[in-house]
Amino acid sequence: MRFAKAIAAVLSVSSLFLGVVSAEESSTTSNDPEVLATAAFPEDNAFNQIVNGQKNTIFVSVENKSGQNVTLLSVAGSLNHPDTNKLIKNLTPAKFDLQLVEDLKLQVPYIFYSEYKPGEHRLNVWLEHSVDGKTYKVDAYESIVTVVEPDFSLFDIKLLLTYLIVAGILGGTGYLVFQPYFPQQKKKSKKAPTESLNSPASATAVGAGVYQEEWIPEHHLKKSKSAKRAGFTSGTSGDELSGAEASGTESKKRKGKKN
């Protein structure tokens, strides 16, 4: 009996202690400044889609109902697993440092970029504010969103330039890699005949040899030219005489035949 009473006393003390802790937690929660926050995608994104590689915007509405001086510090978010809510990636926070006027609703845009696997994800968005130097966190959005790839367009200049740059880099790299395996055949170049030193000089054949007149003194050239002219004249007269003699003999023969 005494043992049972002791156990009951211990249980009552522990329950009393737990009640005090829970009361303290509830009082702490109730003492947090009342700041309301909601978020929604713009009207042109009715299906809550997040496009990879592009700017995505969600608008966060904040209202201060605490009756105190509240400062909006930042807005941040994360992408989580849709079923287990396991963290996949934190989004880049946006800093504001704005004073929230009491009972005045303020709407701020939260812009973020996505580079994640297409499919469904859970998007969480929250804000952080401070009161008297103490920081508080308020959830603004939690819902399933769809991550999609951007639509391809032939008129997307940035995308075309990206493809051209990548193709140029790959082409240059491939050329440098495969060039040693496919050597180019060397073309045989024909050497031009060497010309004379200054200008084309006249050449004269003597027997089997050839000589250039510009290297011969002028008085020798004059003698050789005069000798050629004399030989040419004698040859002509000899031909003419031989022709006359031939004609005379032919006439004599003809007379002999007639007789």
The per-residue pLDDT of the chain, averaged, comes to 74
Average pLDDT estimate for 233-246:
47
Please tell me whether residue 186 adopts helix, strand or coil conformation.
Answer: coil
Share of the chain above pLDDT 70, in %: 56
Q: Which of 153, 168, 101, 97 is nearest to 128 (CA)?
A: 97
Total residues belonging to the chain: 259
The CATH number linked to 118 is 2.60.40.10
Low-confidence winner among 4-8, 40-44, 61-65, 103-107 (lowest mean pLDDT) = 4-8
In the predicted model, is pLDDT for residue 189 greater than 90?
no
Q: Which of 129, 125, 133, 143 is nearest to 65 (CA)?
A: 129
In a domain, 91, yes or no: yes
Q: Which domain holds residue 59?
A: 32-148
| DSSP state for residue 47 in the 8-state scheme | T
- Which pLDDT belongs to residue 64? 94
In a domain, 67, yes or no: yes
117 phi and psi angles, rounded to 5 deg: -65, 130
| DSSP state for residue 192 in the 8-state scheme | P
In a domain, 93, yes or no: yes
Q: Which of 77, 201, 189, 66 is nearest to 139 (CA)?
A: 77
- Predicted confidence (pLDDT) per residue in 207-237, tens digit: 445 556 666 666 666 666 565 565 545 544 4
In a domain, 118, yes or no: yes
In a domain, 136, yes or no: yes
In a domain, 187, yes or no: no
In a domain, 169, yes or no: no
- Which pLDDT belongs to residue 229? 61
Bridge partners, 100 (sequence order): 70
Dihedral angle, C-alpha 63, 64, 66, 70, nearest 10 °: 150
* pTM: predicted TM-score of the whole model, two decimal places: 0.51
Q: How many domains does the chain have?
A: 1
In a domain, 181, yes or no: no
